[in-house]
C-alpha cells in the first residue's frame, strides 16, 4: 500500500516528481520539465485509449520515454454535486433564510447572500414517490444546467429582518452572468470503480439511482468509463491529489480534497479495486463551463441528479505510471450487487465480479445466467473530454500541477464508517 505523505519543501511547494518514492526504471521526468515542453509546443499528449495501444506496440519503457501526458475522463451522474452561489446584495439588503431557484429549494445557513444548490434538490410541491414510481422531472441538476446554458431563472428569497439586513423578501430573475460568483463545488466525483447493479427479486421491478432494474436478473446497469476513467489509470493515487488541475465540464478546475465516502478496499494484483474506492472532491468556475458536459438527469422512482464530465491529466513521470496507464477494460473487475436486498440492507454481500470489457460488450454472466448490460455513464462524451484536454495541453492553454498533498490511502480518512442507529 502506498503511504500518504507530504514533502515539506517550503510553503506552497512540493516535490515535483510526486512519487512517494522513486519507481523502478530509468525514465524520470518532472512536472516542470513537462510544463516547459507544453510552453514550447513540444509536449507529447495522448488519451488513455491511445496510451494502451502505444504500450502494447512499443512496451512500457518506450511509452514512458515517448509520452509526457495521458488524458483520462469520465462522464455520468454524480449525485454529490452542487453549486455555491453568491447572488449579490439587494437594496435594502436581505439576510436570506429561505430561497428558491425556479421553485427548487436552495440551502442557506451561510452568509447573507451565499447559497448552495444541491444537484438532487427538488421543488417542495414535487409529488416525489407518493405515486410510485415518481417521475422526478425537475430539480437542482436541471437548474444548474440552465444557468450554465445562460438561461434566465426565477429567484425567490425570504429573511426574518435585522437592523443591518432589513429586507424580508425578494423576487427577481437571475442569470449566471448576473451572479457575483458561481462555483460548481462537488463533494464526491469520479468514483474509482463502482457497483454493477442488478435485481434478484423474482417479481418486483426496482427504481434506483442506478436506473430501472428488472426482476430476476433482468438487466445489469453500471457507471464508469473503465480504461478511460481517471482513477483506474492512477490506482494508487500517485499522480492525482489535492491541488491537481483538472477539467470540470470543460472549465479549468481542481481536486480540492478527497471525496466523501473515499476508502481503501481490497485490490487485484494489478491494483484495481474490487469495490467502490477512492473519490475526489472537485471545484471549478461555472461561468467557464460548457453545458455539453453538464446535464440535469431524471431518474424514475429515485430523484434528480447531475451528469458531470471530468477530465484529468496524468503526468508520465516514470515507467510505473506508464504501466498503470496501460490498464485494459478486461483488467477492471467490478462487484455485482443485488439492489433488492443487499444494497438497501447494507449487507456488504456481492454476487461476484465481472470485467468492464464484458460490460461494454453488452452481456455478462451472473449466477449462470447471461444478463444484458447498460451504462449510466457515457464513454463517448468522456472520450470527447479527454480529447478536449489533450488539445488544450498541446495548444499551450492548460498546464499541469503537482499535488500539494497526497490523498489518503490508509488510516481513518480512508475508512468508510456506517451510521450507528441507537
Which residues are bridge partners to 114 per DSSP? 86
Instruction: Please state, in angstroms and rounded to a whole number, the distance separating the CA atoms of residues 162 and 159.
Output: 9
Task: Give 190's Cβ-side CA count (13 Å radius).
Answer: 34
Instruction: Choose the catalytic residue: 10, 11, 26, 164.
Output: 164
- For β-strands 245-248 and 251-258, DSSP reports them as antiparallel
Find out whether 313 and 44 touch, Cβ atoms under 8 Å.
Answer: no
Burial (Cβ within 10 Å: 0-12, 13-18, ≥19) of residue 94: buried
Instruction: Please state, in angstroms and rounded to a whole number, the distance separating the CA atoms of residues 119 and 121.
Output: 6
- For β-strands 220-222 and 369-375, DSSP reports them as parallel
| Extended strands (E) in 107-205 | 114-118, 153-158, 169-174, 181-189, 196-198
Instruction: Please state, in angstroms and rounded to a whole number, the distance separating the CA atoms of residues 335 and 348.
Output: 11
Cell numbers that stand for 361 in this block = 460488450
Q: Which residues contact 172 (CB under 8 A, 6 or more apart)?
A: 154, 155
Instruction: Please state, in angstroms and rounded to a whole number, the distance separating the CA atoms of residues 330 and 337.
Output: 19
Instruction: Please state, in angstroms and rounded to a whole number, the distance separating the CA atoms of residues 14 and 228.
Output: 27
Active site annotation includes 325: no
Cell numbers that stand for 26 in this block = 530509468
Instruction: Please state, in angstroms and rounded to a whole number, the distance separating the CA atoms of residues 350 and 81.
Output: 27
SS3 call for 38:
helix
Instruction: Please state, in angstroms and rounded to a whole number, the distance separating the CA atoms of residues 402 and 245.
Output: 8
Instruction: Please state, in angstroms and rounded to a whole number, the distance separating the CA atoms of residues 227 and 123.
Output: 38
Instruction: Please state, in angstroms and rounded to a whole number, the distance separating the CA atoms of residues 6 and 217.
Output: 46
Active site residues: 164
Amino acid at each position: 500500500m502506498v503511504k500518504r505523505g507530504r514533502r515539506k519543501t517550503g510553503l506552497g511547494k512540493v516535490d515535483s516528481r510526486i512519487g512517494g518514492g522513486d519507481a523502478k526504471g530509468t525514465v524520470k521526468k518532472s512536472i516542470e520539465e513537462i510544463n516547459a515542453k507544453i510552453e514550447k509546443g513540444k509536449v507529447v499528449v495522448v488519451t488513455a485509449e491511445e496510451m494502451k495501444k502505444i504500450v502494447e506496440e512499443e512496451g512500457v519503457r518506450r511509452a514512458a520515454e515517448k509520452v509526457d501526458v495521458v488524458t483520462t475522463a469520465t462522464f455520468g451522474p454524480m449525485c454529490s454535486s452542487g453549486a455555491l452561489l453568491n447572488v449579490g446584495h439587494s437594496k435594502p439588503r436581505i439576510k436570506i433564510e429561505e430561497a428558491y431557484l425556479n421553485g427548487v429549494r436552495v440551502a442557506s445557513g451561510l452568509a447573507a447572500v451565499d447559497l448552495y444548490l444541491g444537484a438532487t434538490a427538488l421543488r417542495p410541491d414535487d409529488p416525489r414517490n407518493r405515486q410510485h414510481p415518481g417521475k422526478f422531472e425537475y430539480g437542482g441538476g436541471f437548474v444548474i444546467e440552465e444557468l450554465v446554458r445562460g438561461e434566465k431563472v426565477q429567484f425567490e428569497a425570504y429573511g426574518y429582518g435585522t437592523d443591518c439586513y432589513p429586507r424580508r423578501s425578494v423576487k427577481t430573475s437571475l442569470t449566471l452572468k448576473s451572479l457575483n460568483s458561481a462555483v460548481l463545488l462537488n463533494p464526491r466525483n469520479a468514483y474509482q470503480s463502482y457497483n454493477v447493479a442488478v435485481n434478484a427479486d423474482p417479481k418486483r421491478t426496482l427504481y434506483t439511482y442506478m436506473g430501472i432494474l428488472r426482476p430476476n436478473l433482468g438487466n445489469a446497469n453500471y457507471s464508469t468509463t473503465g480504461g478511460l476513467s481517471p482513477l483506474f489509470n492512477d490506482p494508487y493515487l500517485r499522480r492525482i491529489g489535492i491541488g491537481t488541475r483538472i477539467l470540470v465540464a470543460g472549465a479549468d478546475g481542481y481536486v480540492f480534497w478527497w471525496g466523501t465516502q473515499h476508502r481503501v478496499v481490497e485490490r487485484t494484483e494489478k491494483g484495481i479495486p474490487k469495490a467502490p474506492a477512492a473519490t475526489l472532491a472537485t471545484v471549478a468556475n461555472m461561468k467557464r463551463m460548457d453545458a455539453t458536459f453538464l446535464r440535469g438527469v431524471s431518474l424514475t422512482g429515485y430523484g434528480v441528479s447531475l451528469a458531470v464530465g471530468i477530465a484529468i491529466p496524468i503526468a508520465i513521470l516514470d515507467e510505473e505510471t506508464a504501466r498503470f496507464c496501460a490498464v485494459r477494460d478486461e483488467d477492471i473487475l467490478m462487484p455485482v450487487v443485488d439492489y433488492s436486498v443487499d444494497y438497501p440492507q447494507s449487507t456488504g454481500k456481492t454476487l461476484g465480479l465481472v470485467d468492464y470489457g464484458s460490460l461494454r460488450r453488452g452481456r455478462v454472466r451472473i449466477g449462470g445466467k447471461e444478463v444484458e448490460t447498460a451504462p449510466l455513464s457515457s464513454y463517448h462524451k468522456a472520450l470527447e473530454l479527454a480529447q478536449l484536454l489533450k488539445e488544450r495541453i498541446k495548444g499551450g492553454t492548460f498546464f499541469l500541477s503537482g499535488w500539494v498533498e497526497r490523498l489518503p490511502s490508509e488510516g481513518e480518512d480512508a475508512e468508510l464508517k456506517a451510521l450507528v442507529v441507537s
